[in-house]
Structure 1
């Protein structure tokens, strides 16, 4: 039973990272002037929080993309305290500039230079709404830059970041031209955990977990005792953030993406969080868009070739999978 619960925890560990898991700030490298691309260190405000990021651009106006990292406290480069210095979002920004697309990536609340700001007095108050507000502020900042072509703004997001991307696409100011949803969140947060427990745990653990979900959703509290490991996923210290995350329904958000929006969605047979079968309902909810689905083979959750999808391998700094690069090549011009 302990092994099963540990597997469930590892599956969702990077789906919801709560306050206190910030990674250290990383030094940013400025590109040589002869490339025409520079990494400017920028900041903007979101509901009293000053968010810091990297705006990779050149002087000529053109398309631009907002990059939204994986869940919770993951910084601008895709690094977090669970997986370490992943660096996949930095690599994505570099790939986009090679395809003439500027980008903005940023340190989410609790990470890098952004830190907790006004939330330091109550880190448990940081939930989905704070992350969505940060993404919206980042999009406004990007749209306001002189080099941004306002009719060619896209949002590229990974994992839980995709729910914020779809939320932004449902607004008109600024208008999102296209969405890239890499290994997106498939369902409500607690439902994802339930499916893992249902498939791997013994009946007594499943019964305890289902009772806990019912209590969380109806009374807003969590049992004092949960089977080992599940208490690390939801407990009195993070219950507010869990409830807020669980209220987000990716299928409902997908339905609000404007018809005809170019959307790229990737899934992988090696990603325990975003297998293609698990994502079928979300794919169905996006059928009113100009949807491209790319089914990846042997690609892990951080978009690198690794059929084991072992979190311990996430920080190995390998290149992004050629399959991901190929999907990007086919999408950036849409």
Structure 2
């Protein structure tokens, strides 16, 4: 995916002709902190550089986290799945440099310029922050600006899709891992309907209560989109609190995120951009069916493979039953195929 054939030939020639010199010029793998500023906010990240020859330019990928206060490693304390840190390790084994960063509201970055007015933080601000991170990765001395990719998880995958059609230079590849592939409130409603149906199957709700709650969820989504007060009378307290938060401090973000329909942005990608889209068969947050329209849009945009890769037994955090704390083998294989090595 990342390396040009000529570069591979030259690299092989150097190693074959002067193995001793190549060995003495080797630079060991290392992490270092990267700092960049966007919209008045100092943003902190980690650049992982695999072992390489001195002066060598490496393929590189920007890593983008999922929704909520998810930091550079893919963690929302107290939960620490280290999703992005593990993705960085996996790509590093394929000699791909990576940059991951603390987005707004997380880690060392915090709220930055939005500290005194967090209600003003909207989704486009996160997209601009990601675009600034991409530029920072592009400008690192070890990275090849002609071999850049963006790898996003969940909401970060939607952001990756938006960057793919707007940043310069255009990325050579996008990895959309368990992506948010439909509008935000449609996804929230789908998740809630699933939870309500499961409660009914377990006998916690009657069919009549299920119909009432389902109707209340749909009405709440409509009210949010029409900027009307949400009627929470027929919603369980925890669901009512969610929708009230959507109309409260998070209103600007929710409204701007929900305005994005990911399939509409596939057409902006450069033809033959290498795209991986994964969906896990055990992912209750982003079921594979939610990626159908995006998959079709990517096909119409004439992007390259691997395309959509269903991951058997894999959940939203990229784990399976045998690997509850690490990336599932199917995920590692998909990332390896994406790296093209």
Structure 2: which 5+ runs fail to align?
A: 1-25, 197-209
Match of 2:237 among 228, 234, 238: 228
Deviation at 1:276, TM superposition (A): 2.1
User: Does residue 1:289 correspond to 2:289, yes or no?
Assistant: no
Deviation at 1:258, TM superposition (A): 2.2
Deviation at 1:200, TM superposition (A): 5.0
Question: What is residue 77 of structure 1 aligned with on the other side?
Answer: 73
Aligned 8 A contact 2:191 2:284 in 1: no
Question: What is residue 64 of structure 2 aligned with on the other side?
Answer: 68
Match of 1:176 among 133, 156, 171: 171
Question: What is residue 305 of structure 1 aligned with on the other side?
Answer: 320
Aligned 8 A contact 1:222 1:239 in 2: no
User: Aligned in 2, Cα 1:138/1:63: closer, same or farther, shift over 3 Å?
Assistant: same
Deviation at 1:275, TM superposition (A): 2.4
Question: What is residue 43 of structure 1 aligned with on the other side?
Answer: 35
User: Aligned in 2, Cα 1:205/1:295: closer, same or farther, shift over 3 Å?
Assistant: same
Match of 1:276 among 276, 288, 308: 288
User: Aligned in 2, Cα 1:224/1:269: closer, same or farther, shift over 3 Å?
Assistant: closer
Deviation at 1:73, TM superposition (A): 1.6
Larger Rg: 2
User: Does residue 1:265 correspond to 2:260, yes or no?
Assistant: no
Deviation at 1:199, TM superposition (A): 4.5
CA-to-aligned-CA distance 1:131-187 (integer Å, 9 cap, x gap): 111100000000111221111100111001011101111025132110001100121
- Give distance in 2, aligned partners of 1:35 and 1:276: 41
Question: What is residue 330 of structure 1 aligned with on the other side?
Answer: 337
Structure 1: which 5+ runs fail to align?
A: 1-33, 308-312
- Give distance in 2, aligned partners of 1:220 and 1:101: 48
- Give distance in 1, aligned partners of 2:94 and 2:216: 50
Aligned 8 A contact 2:275 2:305 in 1: yes
Deviation at 1:296, TM superposition (A): 0.6
Question: What is residue 161 of structure 2 aligned with on the other side?
Answer: 166
- Give distance in 1, aligned partners of 2:251 and 2:237: 17
User: Does residue 1:125 correspond to 2:140, yes or no?
Assistant: no
What root-mean-square deviation, in Å, do the aligned CA atoms of Structure 1 and Structure 2 show?
A: 2.2
User: Aligned in 2, Cα 1:248/1:326: closer, same or farther, shift over 3 Å?
Assistant: same
Deviation at 1:217, TM superposition (A): 1.0
TM-score, normalised by the number of residues in structure 1 = 0.82
Report SS of the residue matched to 2:115.
Answer: helix
CA-to-aligned-CA distance 1:78-115 (integer Å, 9 cap, x gap): 0113x611112111111111111101000011111101
User: Does residue 1:144 correspond to 2:139, yes or no?
Assistant: yes
Question: What is residue 211 of structure 1 aligned with on the other side?
Answer: 219
Give the aligned length.
Answer: 293
- Give distance in 1, aligned partners of 2:236 and 2:254: 17
- Give distance in 2, aligned partners of 1:194 and 1:119: 29
- Give distance in 1, aligned partners of 2:118 and 2:143: 34
- Give distance in 2, aligned partners of 1:37 and 1:175: 27
Write 1 or 2 for the structure with the bigger share of helix.
2
